């Protein structure tokens, strides 16, 4: 049974993450929001600290490079935009022992850093979704070869949207190499990463079963950077578009089984998402917490306070709104911890991960916009970070699977239907 009290062993990690958010990220948050596409050099020191913690074992496995996943023969996961998922944890085989492992520690620490800045959290080197994919499905030789490198993930294409199974980028075997051709968009950390994990199909006629992931080196002449996106929010994080033009990749850089398997062949490329969706939910929780705390402080200065022992109807409209938003936050928080706990304990959590992502993403958007309104002119201006957080919030309801995709996953799980039966 899940215990919602924070494990003692994670409390120092949480305190460190909270300090980083308040003392490290918030002071430079506005700087890199305005200087879009400029790499935050301050993150190099943080990255070195994370590397040191991971090497010493003190980091509790935090870091996308530690992500692995137990076998789960559930329905193929649906499409999603990619996100650099910092701190994706390890899913353990089911045992009688209750574990609070790297999934839980990562969720708790990411929640804290995103109280400071989501874009900066996404920009920490060597913590991308590509790293999580490599750790989840690569063989030991590949893991050793890619160790210490920053990997982005290239899934989304102009014509596929949320349907990852409709990928059109092709991979054709040519001797000891594969030749990749196609387009990729919305690649988080695409410019900064050293590697890009590219999804491509070996045979379009076979649909999602023929989709494989390939590790492409960023300096590969066939991987051409088309543009960097100018975005509404998370501007500290770079988002790239690529064109693959006869991009030749050694066969040894295909992740997982090179054979096409008609039954369950899509699972290898998708193995990270039951772990990473709770992490995106944690990002949304962190931003939500920042909005609520800041707005509560601003309203208190105007003599508007919440009495937690009185019903909402007996308080001011502003206090009643804060009560409602806090309840939504707590619900999303519980769902997220549950999904992470299930991952740590080897329990299939696809539905719970989608529930957490859907609830946290929607709550984040609603709370951020409501806090701007409650704070009035102060919320709309740049003296506070509320207006920035409102802009940052929307992506957390979109990437790693849109709100609609998450609800579709939940419906399929509840009804026991496959992706072909319920679209």
Nearest to 105 by CA among 12, 191, 26: 12
The average pLDDT across 364-383 equals: 97
**Residue located via tokens 């707590």:** 330
Check whether 78 has a pLDDT greater than 90: no
pTM of the model: 0.88
- Find all residues with CB under 8 Å of 19, minimum gap 6, and list them: none
Check whether 26 has a pLDDT greater than 50: yes
Buried b (16+ CB within 10 A) or exposed e, 70-88: bebebbbbbbbbbbbbbbb
Task: Please tell me the distance from the alpha carbon of residue 149 to that of residue 176, in angstroms, as a whole number.
Answer: 24
Task: Please tell me the distance from the alpha carbon of residue 278 to that of residue 296, in angstroms, as a whole number.
Answer: 26
- Residue 200 has a pLDDT of 94
Task: Please tell me the distance from the alpha carbon of residue 387 to that of residue 232, in angstroms, as a whole number.
Answer: 11
Compute how many other C-beta atoms are within 10 angstroms of the C-beta atom of residue 262.
9
Task: Please tell me the distance from the alpha carbon of residue 180 to that of residue 186, in angstroms, as a whole number.
Answer: 18
The average pLDDT across 376-389 equals: 97
Compute how many other C-beta atoms are within 10 angstroms of the C-beta atom of residue 321.
20
Percent of the chain with pLDDT over 90: 66
CB 216 within 8 A of CB 223: yes
Compute how many other C-beta atoms are within 10 angstroms of the C-beta atom of residue 113.
27
Task: Please tell me the distance from the alpha carbon of residue 13 to that of residue 106, in angstroms, as a whole number.
Answer: 9
Percent of the chain with pLDDT over 70: 85
Indicate the average pLDDT of the chain.
Answer: 86
From the number of C-beta atoms within 10 Å of its C-beta (0-12, 13-18, 19+), residue 423 rates as exposed
Strands 195-201 and 151-154: parallel
Check whether 272 has a pLDDT greater than 70: no
The average pLDDT across 181-189 equals: 96
- Residue 128 has a pLDDT of 79
Q: Bigger pLDDT: 65 or 85? A: 65
Give the chain's domains with CATH numbers. 270-415 (1.20.140.10)
Check whether 286 has a pLDDT greater than 90: yes
- Residue 263 has a pLDDT of 58
**Please, what is the angle between helix 273-301 and helix 317-344, to 10°?**
160
Strands 254-255 and 177-188: unpaired
Residues classed as catalytic: 400
Instruction: State the Rg of the chain over Cα.
Output: 21
Task: Please tell me the distance from the alpha carbon of residue 182 to that of residue 52, in angstroms, as a whole number.
Answer: 38
132: helix, strand or coil: helix
Task: Please tell me the distance from the alpha carbon of residue 228 to that of residue 71, in angstroms, as a whole number.
Answer: 36
As given in the structure block, the two tokens for residue 73 are: 């023969």
- Find all residues with CB under 8 Å of 124, minimum gap 6, and list them: 43, 46, 47, 50, 86
- Residue 252 has a pLDDT of 97
When pLDDT is cut at 50, 70 and 90, the band that residue 85 belongs to is very low
Check whether 157 has a pLDDT greater than 80: yes
Q: Tens of pLDDT along 87-145? A: 444 444 444 566 888 889 889 999 999 999 999 999 998 887 788 778 778 899 999 99
Check whether 67 has a pLDDT greater than 60: no
């Amino acid at each position: 049974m899940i215990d919602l009290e924070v494990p003692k062993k994670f409390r120092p990690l949480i305190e460190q993450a909270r300090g980083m958010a308040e003392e490290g990220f918030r002071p430079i948050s506005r700087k890199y929001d305005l200087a879009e596409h400029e790499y935050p050099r301050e993150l190099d020191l943080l990255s070195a600290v994370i590397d040191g913690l991971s090497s010493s074992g003190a980091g509790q496995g935090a870091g996308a490079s530690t992500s692995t996943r137990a076998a789960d023969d559930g329905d193929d996961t649906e499409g999603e935009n990619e996100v650099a998922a910092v701190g994706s944890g390890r899913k353990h085989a089911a045992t009688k022992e209750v574990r609070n492992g790297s999934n839980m520690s990562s969720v708790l620490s990411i929640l804290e850093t995103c109280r400071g800045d989501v874009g900066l959290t996404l920009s920490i080197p060597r913590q991308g979704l590509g790293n999580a994919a490599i750790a989840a499905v690569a063989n030991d030789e590949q893991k050793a070869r890619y160790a210490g490198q920053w990997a982005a993930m290239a899934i989304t294409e102009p014509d596929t949207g949320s349907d990852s199974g409709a990928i059109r980028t092709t991979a054709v075997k040519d001797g000891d190499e594969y030749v990749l051709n196609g387009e990729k968009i919305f690649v988080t950390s695409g410019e900064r990463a050293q590697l890009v994990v590219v999804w491509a199909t070996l045979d379009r006629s076979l649909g999602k079963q023929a989709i494989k992931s390939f590790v492409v080196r960023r300096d590969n002449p066939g991987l051409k950077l088309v543009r960097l996106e100018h975005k509404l929010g998370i501007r500290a994080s770079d988002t790239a578009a690529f064109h693959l033009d006869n991009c030749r990749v050694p066969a040894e850089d295909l992740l997982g089984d090179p054979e096409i398997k008609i039954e369950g062949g899509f699972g290898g490329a998708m193995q990270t998402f039951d772990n990473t969706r709770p992490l995106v939910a944690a990002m949304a929780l962190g931003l939500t917490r920042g909005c609520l705390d800041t707005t509560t402080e601003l309203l208190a200065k105007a003599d508007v306070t919440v009495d937690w022992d009185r019903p909402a109807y007996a308080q001011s409209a502003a206090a009643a709104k804060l009560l409602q938003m806090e309840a939504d936050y707590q619900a999303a928080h519980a769902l997220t911890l549950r999904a992470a706990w299930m991952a740590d304990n080897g329990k299939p959590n696809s539905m719970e991960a989608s529930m957490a992502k859907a609830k946290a993403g929607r709550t984040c958007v609603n709370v951020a916009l409501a806090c701007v309104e409650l704070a009035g002119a102060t919320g709309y201006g740049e003296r506070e970070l509320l207006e920035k957080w409102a802009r940052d919030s929307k992506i957390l309801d979109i990437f790693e699977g849109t709100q609609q995709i998450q609800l579709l996953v939940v419906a399929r799980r509840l009804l026991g239907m496959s992706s072909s039966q319920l679209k």
